[in-house]
Amino acid sequence: MTCTQAILSLLLISPCSDEGGPSMDLAIAESLASPARPETDRAKDALRRPDQVLAFFEIEPGMTVLDLFSGGGYYTELLSGTVGADGKVVAHNNQAYVDYAAKELGPRFSDDHLANVEQVTLEASELSFPSASFDAALAILTWHDFYYVDPENGWEAIDEPAVTEVLCKALKPGAILGVVDHVATSGSDTREAAQNLHRIDPARIKADLADSCFEFVAEANFLRNKSDDYSKPMFDPEVRGKTDRVVYKFKRKS
């Protein structure tokens, strides 16, 4: 039984929330099962386990969610379906990501698909959002990109503390910041791991947020893979889609 099928089987028991609207599980399951989702997205579900990711990060109908460095929009699409017509998703990319993911982004947003999604293209240094405007923000497989530099291809150095400060202002008190990323060897040089392997030492993520407005509240292990070869870049065919990944939940302090 797939993750989607498992969640759908639960809907016979608890299809609605106490408020009478769709429950979190129902909303996630319906988003996963949507016939509008590209088959290329569905093929990634078994390894990405988005049902568990979205549930762990407490994504619910009606929320306003920031998909930070959203890439080709795999999670943007699922967030759109989960938050529903009463919710909103802001899909952020910088220009380098837009160029890299152009073949995915074009079809994904054609014909007014994902009508509750606002696409925002801004460099990290330009990020600015209204205060307390988001119920959650996700950084999926992108925290290491804060330490990646490739000016020839439009990826300038990022001031990570400045981005964290933007997130602090943009998230409501109690809002969730969800981070998923490829694991690098403990104690490894952060910039070297990001530059050459597209990975990050999990301790670096926690350290980046330790003195910020966010507090670490939980970790999930459903994407851990201790057999991963940390010496290989995440793009290597031997490990792609099967890397050891941390799933960290932080909460915006009141």
191: in domain: yes
- Parallel, antiparallel, or unpaired for β 64-67 and 134-140? parallel
Count of domains forming the chain: 1
**Global pTM?**
0.91
228: in domain: yes
158: in domain: yes
* Distance separating alpha carbons of residues 206 and 212, to the nearest angstrom: 10
Contacts within 8 Å (CB) and 24+ apart, 68-71: 68/92, 68/137, 68/138, 68/139, 68/142, 68/167, 69/93, 69/94, 69/97, 69/139, 69/142, 69/145, 70/97, 71/97, 71/100, 71/101, 71/104, 71/141, 71/142
Q: What is the CATH number of the domain that holds 127?
A: 3.40.50.150
Angle, helices 202-210 vs 160-170, to 10°: value is 60
99: in domain: yes
5: in domain: no
2: in domain: no
Burial of residue 157, with CB atoms counted within 10 A of its CB: 0-12 exposed, 13-18 middle, 19 or more buried: middle
38: in domain: no
The range of the structural domain enclosing residue 97 comes to 59-252
Burial of residue 207, with CB atoms counted within 10 A of its CB: 0-12 exposed, 13-18 middle, 19 or more buried: exposed
- pLDDT at position 15: 45
What's the pLDDT tens digit per position in 204-248?
Answer: 999 999 999 999 999 999 999 999 999 999 999 999 999 999 999
Q: What pLDDT tens digit does each residue of the chain (254 aa) get?
A: 445 445 444 444 344 454 556 688 999 999 999 999 999 999 999 999 999 999 999 999 999 999 999 999 999 999 999 999 999 999 999 999 999 999 999 999 998 889 999 999 999 999 999 999 999 999 999 999 999 999 999 999 999 999 999 999 999 999 999 999 999 999 999 999 999 999 999 999 999 999 999 999 999 999 999 999 999 999 999 999 999 999 999 999 99
Short-list 137, 127, 199, CA closest to 161:
127
